[in-house]
A and B are shown apart, each in its own frame.
Chain A
Amino acid sequence: MLPLLSHTLLVCIILIFKKIHANELTFELPDNAKECFHDKLKIGSKFVLEYQVVTGGNYDVDLELKSPSGKILYKETKKQYDQFEKTVEEDGVYQFCFSNEFSTFTHKIIYIDWKVDGDPEHEIPQPGPRVAEGALTMIELKVGKIHENLEKSIDYQTHHRLREATGRARAEDLQERVQIWSLGQFILIIIVAIGTVLLLRSFFTDRRTSSNMTWNR
C-alpha cells in the first residue's frame, strides 16, 4: 500500500512540474519559398523563438510572427540571427513564417528553437525546479541550479555547432570552387595559346602573296 502511495505521490509531483517544452528543428528553405509554422497557445504562457541561418547566400532570412488576431508581433527582414520572446496575451494559433522570396537561387538552411513555457497543455512531466511544495532543501536548490546551468551550456554548444557548420560549409564550397575554376583556367590557357597561333597562321596563309611583296620592299 505504502509503495503505491509514494509512487502515486511521486507521479503527481512530477505531473505538477512546469517544464519548458522545447522544439528544435533544422530545415532547408528553397529559393523563392516561404515556410510557416503554427502553434496553439494559451494566455499566460511565455514563448521564445530563436532562429539562425546556418548556410546559404548572405545568411539572411525574413521572419514574420503573427498573433491569432493577425497582429504582427515581430517582423524583420534579412536577419541572420535573432531571439524573440513574449508573454501570450491572446488565446489561439500563433504563426511564424520564414521567407526566402528575395533570393533567386540560393537556398538556405535555417535552425529554429521554439520554447513554450508555462502552458499546461505543453507540459511534459519531467523533473524540474519545484515551485509549489514546502521548503526546498539545500541539495535540491543546488541541483536545480546545476540543471539550469547545464541547459545553458547545452544551448551554447548548439550555437557553437551552428557557427562551425556555417564556416565548414563555406570552406567546403571554397575547396570545390578553387578546384573547378583552376582546372577551367588551365584548360583555357592551353586553348588560347593554341588558338592564337592558329589564328596568326591563318592571317599569313591567306594573304601570302601580298605580304610577300610588302616584305620584300
Chain B
Amino acid sequence: MENHLYLILIISLFQLITISYSLYFHIDETERKCFIEEIPDETLVIGKYRVELLDENTNTYGATPYGIGMNVEIKDPDDKIVLSKLYTSEGRFTFTSHMPGEHLICLYSNSSAWFGRQKLRIHLDIDVGEHAIDYQEIGAREKLTELQLRIRQLLDQVQQIAKEQNYQRYREERFRATSESTNQRVLWWSFAQVTVLVIAGFWQMRHLKGFFLAKKLV
C-alpha cells in the first residue's frame, strides 16, 4: 500500500511539472477563443489549461485572483453542446466524441466586463486519441514490463489509424454526395432557365402582338 502511494506521488509530481510549460497565447478578459478538432467517433480528447492574469503594475503575468475561472464549452458537429462547465484557473477537461466530425472547443473567462479589459495568458494543451493516453499510469496500474508497454502503445496507434481511415471513408462519401448534388443542381437549373427564357419570349411576342392589334397600330 505504502509502495503504491510512493509511486503515485512520483507520478503526480511529474504530472505537475509537465503542466507548467506548453504553448500559450493571450486573450482579452471577455474574449472567446475557439479551437476546431476534426475527429472520428469514439475518440478521447483531453485538454489541459492554465490561466494567468496580466498584472498592470509589474507588467508580468501572475496567478489569477480568486473567482476568475474559465468556461469550457464543447460543441459537436451538429452544434449541440457536449460539455459546458466552469473550471478554476487551472483545469483539465475530457470528452469522448460520439459522432465523427468537427468539434468546437471554446474557452472564455467568466469575468464580467466591470473589471476592465485585462489580458489573460492561457497555457493550453489538447491531446487527441492516442496522444491522450497516459502510458505511465497504465504501466504502473497493470504492472507491465517496458516492452509490453511499448507494444500496448503500438496497438493503440494502429487502432487510431484504423479509426481515422474509417472516418476518411465517411468524409469521402459526403464529399461525393455534395459534388453529385451540385452536378444535379447545375443541370436542373440550366434546364429551368432555358425553359423560362423560351416561355418568356413566346409570352412577350403574343402579348405585344395582342397589344398592338388592340391599339390598332398594326
Binding site for B on A (CB under 8 A): 3-4, 7-8, 10-11, 13-15, 21-28, 35-40, 109, 114, 121-127, 139-140, 143-144, 146-147, 150-151, 153-154, 157, 160-161, 164-165, 167-168, 171-172, 174-175, 178-179, 182-183, 185-186, 189-190, 193, 196-197, 200-201, 204, 208, 211-212, 215
Judge if B213 is at the interface, Cβ distance under 8 Å.
Answer: no
B168–A10 touching, CB < 8 Å: no
Judge if B60 is at the interface, Cβ distance under 8 Å.
Answer: no
A-B contact pairs, 22 of them (CB 8 A): A40-B21, A109-B36, A121-B20, A125-B18, A125-B135, A127-B139, A127-B146, A147-B153, A147-B157, A150-B154, A150-B157, A157-B164, A161-B171, A165-B38, A168-B171, A171-B182, A175-B178, A182-B185, A183-B189, A185-B193, A189-B196, A211-B217
Residues of B within 8 A of A201 (CB): 211
Interface magnitude class on chain B? 35 or more
6 additional A-B pairs beyond A123-B18, A171-B179, beta carbons within 8 Å, are A7-B140, A15-B10, A23-B23, A121-B20, A150-B161, A185-B193
Binding site for A on B (CB under 8 A): 3, 6-7, 10-11, 14, 17-18, 20-26, 33-38, 124-126, 128, 130-131, 135-136, 139-140, 143, 145-147, 149-151, 153-154, 157-158, 160-161, 164-165, 168, 171-172, 174-175, 178-179, 181-182, 185-186, 189, 192-193, 196-197, 200-201, 203-204, 207-208, 211-212, 215-217
Whole-angstrom distance between the alpha carbons of A210 and B216 in the complex? 13
- Top 4 nearest A-B pairs (CB, nearest first) are A193-B200, A182-B189, A4-B3, A26-B36
Residues of A within 8 A of B216 (CB): 212
Residues of B within 8 A of A37 (CB): 23-25
B157–A23 touching, CB < 8 Å: no
Whole-angstrom distance between the alpha carbons of A211 and B211 in the complex? 14
Whole-angstrom distance between the alpha carbons of A24 and B126 in the complex? 7
Residues of B within 8 A of A160 (CB): 168
- Main SS of chain A's interface residues? helix
B22–A8 touching, CB < 8 Å: no
Count A-B contacts at CB 8 Å: 185
- Given A26-B38, A186-B189, also A122-B21 (CB < 8 A): yes
Whole-angstrom distance between the alpha carbons of A35 and B109 in the complex? 18
B178–A22 touching, CB < 8 Å: no
A154–B140 touching, CB < 8 Å: no
Whole-angstrom distance between the alpha carbons of A216 and B131 in the complex? 92
- Main SS of chain B's interface residues? helix
A143–B22 touching, CB < 8 Å: no
B215–A204 touching, CB < 8 Å: yes
Residues of A within 8 A of B161 (CB): 150, 153-154, 157
Whole-angstrom distance between the alpha carbons of A113 and B128 in the complex? 13
Count chain B CB atoms within 10 A of each CB in A13, A126, A164, A168 and give the residue with the most: A126
Residues of B within 8 A of A23 (CB): 22-23, 125-126
Report B31 CB to chain A, min CB distance, Å: 12
Report B158 CB to chain A, min CB distance, Å: 7
Residues of B within 8 A of A147 (CB): 150, 153-154, 157
Count chain B CB atoms within 10 A of each CB in A4, A38, A174, A175 and give the residue with the most: A175
Residues of B within 8 A of A27 (CB): 33-36
A197–B21 touching, CB < 8 Å: no
Whole-angstrom distance between the alpha carbons of A27 and B122 in the complex? 15
